Amino acid sequence: MTRKKIVTVIGARPQFIKASAVSAIIAASGALDEVVVHTGQHFDANMSDVFFAELGMAAPAHHCDVHGGGHGDMTGRMLIEIEKVLLAERPDAVMVYGDTNSTLAGALAAIKLHVPVAHVEAGMRSFNMDSPEEINRLLTDRVAQWLFTPNQASGAHLLREGTAPARIHQVGDVMYDVALLHGSRVGAQGGMLGQLGAAFGIEPGKYVLATIHRAENTDHPARLTAIVDALAALAKDIPVVLPLHPRTRGVLAREGKLAALERAVVLVEPLGYLDMVQMEKHAALIATDSGGVQKEAFFYRVPCVTLRDETEWGELVEAGWNRVAPPRDATDLLAALRASLGTAGKEVAPYGDGEAAARIVQRLVADLA
């Protein structure tokens, strides 16, 4: 059998993490060759390189070096660069992950050259068309030949939209694969928790971990203020650790809010994956607007408050692990955060068995043969 070629297009932090599971299985398959394209969407060492190093990924073969600018500007420049790569590489399929501009640019570049697209984490919906992520996922799902869904709800969304069932493959969540593979490497000793223990007296099980990066919060001053004020107030009860996304840091600095926040909570740079997992595993509570961090909170059975108007992961709200707290008012948000401390949900298993990546690769090998 001749080996088939997959071009994988990734560019943002969660995509490096998700792709690490699938790339490892592709490399072991003996049936596929993978060429990785890094769009450049996230480029700082601590938003990009650290994940390749920690998760054992080969360096990308191509760098598009596209970042910054508006959505159309960024997506358009990526489209131009990815098309050049696809014309040179002539792959049998293109693989994209999640819901960023890199996802959409990869899918569009491929489909316009009639290269079939595989979408990992297909079918997720927030039903919020104001968010860039929802637009990216809807359009990517529309053109993808293989829709690899992480959970039952995602498949149901696709069916409701009229997607042919043969395109939908419920494989499980690759983030769960990664959590099982790498999460077990992390204990309470040393690492970031050790450093924060020495510097600030932070102890396992006795702090709140927060992340904020979504445009729907960073680009709306009233929402960002509500979040920042609620976290600062919560920090009077229990230490709050906030690894600050570069976009959020930029906005807070421009608005003159960084110094006050730094006095209230423990601000750190974005963490590598293993440090992040350590901080998640030992938190009393996680407060986040991240899609992936909500799930990881559940993987490590830590209660989570979602700082958004809605979540794609409704099953975690139903099971009692997650509470959606729209960031409109600091007092309400603080009440939601306090109410979630010390809670636990029901045992559920919505994200498969840690074999999602293996199923994805098996499917592609069979269909491309």
Residues known to be catalytic: 213
Q: Distance between CA atoms of 133 and 124, rounded to whole angstroms? A: 10
Q: Does 14 bind ligand UDP (CB under 6 A)?
A: yes
String of contacts with ligand UDP for each residue 207-226, x by CB under 6 A: ----x-x-------------
d(CA 328, CA 54): 37
Q: Output 51 or 146, the one with its CB closest to ligand UDP.
A: 51
Q: Which of 134, 141, 229, 296 binds ligand UDP (CB under 6 A)?
A: 296
> Which residues lie below 8 Å from residue 28, measured CB to CB, with a gap of 6+?
none
Minimum Å gap between C-beta 237 and ligand UDP is 23
Nearer to ligand UDP, 62 or 281 (CB): 281
36 with 96: CB under 8 angstroms?
no
Q: Which amino acid is present at 213?
A: H
Is 137 a binding residue for ligand UDP by CB under 6 A? The answer is: no
Nearer to ligand UDP, 35 or 279 (CB): 279
Long-range contacts, stretch 23-27, CB < 8 angstroms, 24+ apart: 23/57, 23/58, 24/56, 24/357, 25/357, 25/358, 25/360, 25/361, 26/361, 27/58
- What's the CA gap between 43 and 65, in Å, rounded? 8
Angle 246-248-254 (CA atoms, 0-180°, nearest 5)? 100
The verdict on 13 binding ligand UDP (CB under 6 A) reads yes
Give the DSSP letter string of 80-92.
HHHHHHHHHH--S
3-state secondary structure at position 167: helix
Strand extents, DSSP E, 71-126: 93-97, 117-120
Annotate each residue in 234-263 with x if it binds ligand UDP (CB under 6 A) or - if it does not, as one string. ---------x--------------------
- Closest to ligand UDP by CB, 91 vs 350, is 350
The stretch near ligand UDP (CB under 6 A) out of 247-255, 270-278, 303-311, 347-355 is 270-278
273 binds ligand UDP (CB under 6 A): yes
Query: Does 176 contact ligand UDP by CB under 6 A?
Result: no
- From the list 67-75, 109-117, 148-156, 290-298, the region that binds ligand UDP by CB under 6 A is 290-298
271 binds ligand UDP per the rule CB under 6 A: yes
91 to 120, contacts with ligand UDP by CB under 6 A?
98
Give the residue from 325, 324, 330 showing the smallest Cα distance to 228: 330
* Nearer residue to ligand UDP within complex by CB, 213 or 282: 213
- Of 277 and 364, nearer to ligand UDP (C-beta) is 277
Catalog residues that contact ligand UDP under the rule CB under 6 A. Answer: 13-14, 17, 98, 211, 213, 243, 270-271, 273, 276, 290-293, 296
